[in-house]
A and B are shown apart, each in its own frame.
Chain A
């Protein structure tokens, strides 16, 4: 038997796969909340991502952008341990320390569409749960479309 989508979070909780040192040593990746970036009048997107105390989880762990572009992320570390943020960006990945009870803003640029991983790449934060996804929606510019009829999508 497998669970249906609405039952998934319940099943993860019952099995102990959504927290630290229950069924497994860490939590399954990106099982946390889903958040949306907001687009400002200046065209930049903004979001806030928090590290929850003693859970090794980004909140949200899935951040959804309406399209590719510039994104300012404020990271907030509410945990009592030091972590960091490594986020892909055109040119080079951006990296910042996140000492206990600190906050800081990072600016990244991502093409759409598709999804990208971000993480805390110290210790084994990644294996324990501090991996998240940035989901970029939208389409490539019209100039980059093939000369073709309408495409049937899966």
Chain B
């Protein structure tokens, strides 16, 4: 005990009993058991129930496309806020510099499941925003986080809500009341490991990827048994000596053990190939390649992982021997063309890679941003570096900067228009190599970095996958730093860093509608319907690694709310502009 003696001059009373802080709200504490019947089979066929958004990208194919069309190009101008839920940062942890609301809401039969920045999970009534229950995992204040107090979402199945925490736990919560069913310590928080990914349910497993590459951890994916939390397999993304691919790392020393390559963004899944398609992060140290000569597999790669065993079946490396912090974590959108099963990946290095997803064969490579100065990748895949931090202390400037031509936020694909819609960042950076020794849980960059705060641009750009040609572009003064959403109403929704949420015509790029949400967008909007009424939901909360992707907006309003839009009561789909 703490050695404190009671005072004899006081007659103490009994303090009222301690309660859960969340009980001091209007939340009833329970949600309808809608997740009880969410099975793997339902998630496989997610697009057949467009009223729901059952998995991270809406469906396993990663298209971020919804068949809902009640809100369309004719009536979108009339949509207004249906409800707003404001969560508020809480206490010291979600500090001024770091938190952002990056989640992707999941909706099942009228209930929305949302994760926040510091171990928070909420269940909301998707029709009116009423808080149903909340769960808060206690996160140590001193966890090592590269890129902010963020969490990108939950997964649901078999009555459970699955979520990762910043101190590298994986949790299964009871979807009806938020109580914890199992809690697995997945990573070593002392070694700089954290978890920010939205889990992916595949069959009877929950798949998660690690974060922490900026602290020199060795990346991996884990699959956990959905019912018990037992680990079924682990897939390391950096081979250790003797394993396939280890020849791309120094034979001597421990560079492989500090190699990065974390899988911190949710992958996609093809049940026909039984492969998970997962992007991997940059090698560590980020900018000092001299301590890790070689291609550094499987960093900056798309890896195809057997969903049953965790074995890597094929890989395609987008930036061999990365010297620019060009993670390849971004989405892998599955689509078909001319009878061929393909995958499209818009990479931080400024190029889109279209691959045959059965074998990883290169089909097409094309640039999707105007300024690419770091080097060149030819259509046949030849990579030529041109500007990189080579000499100690010598500053170089290149485009795109370390945030990439597109950051972790996601592109969309509409099977109606056959186009990709990409949130583009056009920002450069100055980098000087500054060698340092690896030390546990200390940032391991190997450089001094300053990202441009001026001379920047952004756009939502539409591309034809068969040619790689840009079909239209909606320009924005600031880089676009949030995922886009495509719908069967032939709309593309996108949030800007200045706070406006916009709707564009998916066929022409025409600007149709906007609403100022009061804070920059850095999340993944979704759409769903309840009782036949379509809603568009967007989490708003500006922050996280702003100094890395848009330092010119570091002082922008933080915000912390879920905005949900719909057509006004009595307004049907026939309303015109």
Chain B residues near A133 (CB-CB < 8 A) = 141
- In this assembly, does A70 line the interface, its C-beta being within 8 Å of a C-beta of chain B? no
Chain A residues near B439 (CB-CB < 8 A) = 152-154
The CA-CA distance from A94 to B2 in the complex, in Å, is 21
Q: Select one of B7, B135, B167, B179 contacting A111, CB under 8 A.
A: B167
Given the known A-B contacts A92-B136, A148-B218, are A104 and B187 also in contact in the complex, defined by CB atoms under 8 Å?
Answer: no
Task: Give the contact stretch, choosing among A1-9, A10-18, A19-27, A75-83.
Answer: A75-83
Asked whether B185 lies within 8 Å of A144 as measured between CB atoms, the reply is: yes
Asked whether B18 lies within 8 Å of A151 as measured between CB atoms, the reply is: no
Asked whether A96 lies within 8 Å of B16 as measured between CB atoms, the reply is: yes
Chain B residues near A96 (CB-CB < 8 A) = 15-19
Chain A residues near B24 (CB-CB < 8 A) = 95
Given the known A-B contacts A149-B254, A149-B257, A152-B439, are A113 and B140 also in contact in the complex, defined by CB atoms under 8 Å?
Answer: yes
**Most B-side CB within 10 Å, residue of A46, A95, A143:** A95
The CA-CA distance from A117 to B135 in the complex, in Å, is 18
Asked whether B21 lies within 8 Å of A98 as measured between CB atoms, the reply is: no
- In this assembly, does A103 line the interface, its C-beta being within 8 Å of a C-beta of chain B? yes
Asked whether B442 lies within 8 Å of A102 as measured between CB atoms, the reply is: no
A-contacting residues, B399-415, CB 8 Å: none
- In this assembly, does B169 line the interface, its C-beta being within 8 Å of a C-beta of chain A? yes
Q: Select one of B21, B138, B193 contacting A116, CB under 8 A.
A: B138
B-contacting residues, A129-154, CB 8 Å: 131, 133, 136, 139-141, 143-149, 151-154
Q: Which residue of A has the minimal Cβ distance to B220? A: A146
Asked whether B138 lies within 8 Å of A90 as measured between CB atoms, the reply is: yes
Given the known A-B contacts A75-B15, A141-B185, A144-B185, are A113 and B1 also in contact in the complex, defined by CB atoms under 8 Å?
Answer: no
- In this assembly, does B272 line the interface, its C-beta being within 8 Å of a C-beta of chain A? no
Asked whether B4 lies within 8 Å of A59 as measured between CB atoms, the reply is: yes
Chain A residues near B141 (CB-CB < 8 A) = 114-117, 133
Given the known A-B contacts A49-B2, A140-B185, A152-B440, are A94 and B143 also in contact in the complex, defined by CB atoms under 8 Å?
Answer: no
Asked whether A88 lies within 8 Å of B15 as measured between CB atoms, the reply is: no
Asked whether B218 lies within 8 Å of A147 as measured between CB atoms, the reply is: yes
Chain A residues near B180 (CB-CB < 8 A) = 90-91
- In this assembly, does B168 line the interface, its C-beta being within 8 Å of a C-beta of chain A? yes
- In this assembly, does B532 line the interface, its C-beta being within 8 Å of a C-beta of chain A? no
The CA-CA distance from A139 to B188 in the complex, in Å, is 8
Q: Select one of B2, B13, B185 contacting A48, CB under 8 A.
A: B2
- In this assembly, does A125 line the interface, its C-beta being within 8 Å of a C-beta of chain B? no
The CA-CA distance from A33 to B4 in the complex, in Å, is 11
Asked whether A104 lies within 8 Å of B136 as measured between CB atoms, the reply is: no
Asked whether B140 lies within 8 Å of A144 as measured between CB atoms, the reply is: no
- In this assembly, does B142 line the interface, its C-beta being within 8 Å of a C-beta of chain A? yes
- In this assembly, does A44 line the interface, its C-beta being within 8 Å of a C-beta of chain B? no
Asked whether B135 lies within 8 Å of A91 as measured between CB atoms, the reply is: yes
Instruction: Label chain A's interface by main secondary structure.
Output: strand
Q: Select one of A38, A86, A104, A136 contacting B140, CB under 8 A.
A: A136
The CA-CA distance from A48 to B13 in the complex, in Å, is 16
- In this assembly, does B473 line the interface, its C-beta being within 8 Å of a C-beta of chain A? no
Asked whether A89 lies within 8 Å of B138 as measured between CB atoms, the reply is: yes
Q: Select one of B16, B91, B185 contacting A104, CB under 8 A.
A: B16
Asked whether B15 lies within 8 Å of A77 as measured between CB atoms, the reply is: yes
Q: Which residue of A has the minimal Cβ distance to B2? A: A35
Asked whether B2 lies within 8 Å of A47 as measured between CB atoms, the reply is: yes
Asked whether B137 lies within 8 Å of A104 as measured between CB atoms, the reply is: no
Asked whether B257 lies within 8 Å of A148 as measured between CB atoms, the reply is: yes
- In this assembly, does A99 line the interface, its C-beta being within 8 Å of a C-beta of chain B? yes
Asked whether A113 lies within 8 Å of B190 as measured between CB atoms, the reply is: yes
Asked whether B140 lies within 8 Å of A111 as measured between CB atoms, the reply is: yes
- In this assembly, does B186 line the interface, its C-beta being within 8 Å of a C-beta of chain A? yes
Asked whether A146 lies within 8 Å of B21 as measured between CB atoms, the reply is: no
Shortest beta-carbon distance, B212 to chain A, in Å?
A: 9
Q: Name 27 interchain pairs, CB-CB below 8 A, sorted by A.
A: A37-B2, A47-B1, A48-B2, A59-B2, A92-B21, A93-B21, A96-B15, A96-B16, A96-B17, A101-B11, A103-B14, A104-B15, A104-B17, A109-B138, A113-B140, A114-B167, A114-B189, A117-B93, A117-B141, A139-B188, A143-B185, A144-B188, A145-B191, A146-B218, A147-B240, A148-B254, A149-B254
A residues within 8 Å of B by Cβ? 33, 35-38, 46-50, 59-60, 63, 75-78, 85-86, 88-99, 101-111, 113-117, 119, 131, 133, 136, 139-141, 143-149, 151-154
List the 7 shortest-distance A-B pairs measured between CB atoms, nearest first.
A114-B140, A104-B15, A35-B2, A88-B138, A96-B18, A92-B20, A106-B18
